[in-house]
Amino acid sequence: MSYLTTGQLATLACTLEVASPKPGNVHPGAEFDGLTLVDFLTSAVAIAPAMDAAVNQPIGETVLQAIRATRRVTSTNTNLGTVLLLAPLCAVPRGEPLQTGVQRVLRRSNLQDAHNVYEAIRLAQPGGLGRVEQGDVSQAPTADLVSMMRLAASRDMVARQYNNGFDDVLGTVVPWLADGQAPGLSVADRVVLTHVRLMATHPDSLIARKCGDAVARESAKRAASVLASGRPGDASYQRELRNFDAWLRADGHRRNPGTTADLIAAGLFAALRDGIIALPRPAPVM
């Protein structure tokens, strides 16, 4: 994937994520009222310039630029969590390993980064945000970005990545996308399988914010039942996956596992950047 820029890889990762038929999320043939596939695709294109610039600017500036670009093409929140994850990853120079590079990038975060990220969050208007005693985005941040994210790490999987050096993305999602137990699976099938595995292991924090911890734990239990039913392609697996999808989409899509999707998009970017996922390359034009 070295022939694509960092911004193009970010767009491709977001496109692959939304194009894969993950249970409970928007994908081709499954949309929400007021939130369509086109919203996600145009947002994926819109953030590319900010992600290309990430290596030469602070994290907070990249996040704010990307969300401003997104709001110019869609009126709803399509990608705040994804942008928060992609910005530090895209800031790592292409020749530097992500594991060490992203920690170096995070160590540089400062109070201005926190101000810019808070502004981006208010601009994106994510659902289920609520109010908290410390670090509420309606107020001014009081410390650097990583310190402010640490306040939310116990209740939000995106914030948790800033606290653990992106361990869940780089240490779990990426290896699962490349998992040897899934030989012969398409990229989309690997994405769906990883999505379900992640939901089973970590109850989705967007579901928890919107519906409560009990519903989030129930979603994890149902994801585990899908995994226990068989392998991708088995009739039993496909049946349980459809049932899980239907349950997530009930209640007006309030159970949509959006945070899990954000981590999948970030994992796809890392896997594409480092050649762990390789898409077919077209023959050279003669």
pLDDT for residue 282: 63
Domain contains 99: yes
pLDDT tens string for the chain (286 positions)? 578 999 999 999 999 999 999 999 999 988 888 889 999 999 999 999 999 999 999 999 999 999 999 999 998 899 999 999 999 999 999 999 999 999 999 999 999 999 999 999 999 988 655 555 555 677 889 999 999 999 999 999 999 999 999 999 999 999 999 985 566 788 899 999 999 999 999 999 999 999 999 999 999 999 999 999 999 989 999 999 999 999 999 878 889 999 999 999 999 999 999 999 877 666 666 5
CA 142 to chain centroid: 26
Domain contains 103: yes
pLDDT for residue 3: 84
Q: Who contacts 73 (Cβ-Cβ below 8 Å, separation ≥6)?
A: 42, 43, 45, 46
Backbone angles phi, psi at 16, to 5 degrees: -65, -40
Residue type at 8 in one-letter notation: Q
Residues present in the chain in total: 286
pLDDT for residue 180: 53
Structure tokens at 99: 């594991």
- CATH number, residue 242: 1.10.4200.10
Q: What is the pTM of this model?
A: 0.94
Domain contains 280: no
Contact 197, 176 (CB under 8 A): yes
Domain contains 259: yes
Domain count, the chain: 1
Strands (E), the chain: none
Which domain does 57 fall in, by range?
6-273
Domain contains 278: no
Domain contains 106: yes
Domain contains 282: no
Q: Who contacts 48 (Cβ-Cβ below 8 Å, separation ≥6)?
A: 5, 7, 8, 10, 11
Domain contains 260: yes
Question: Distance (Å, rounded) from C-alpha 112 to C-alpha 58?
Answer: 9
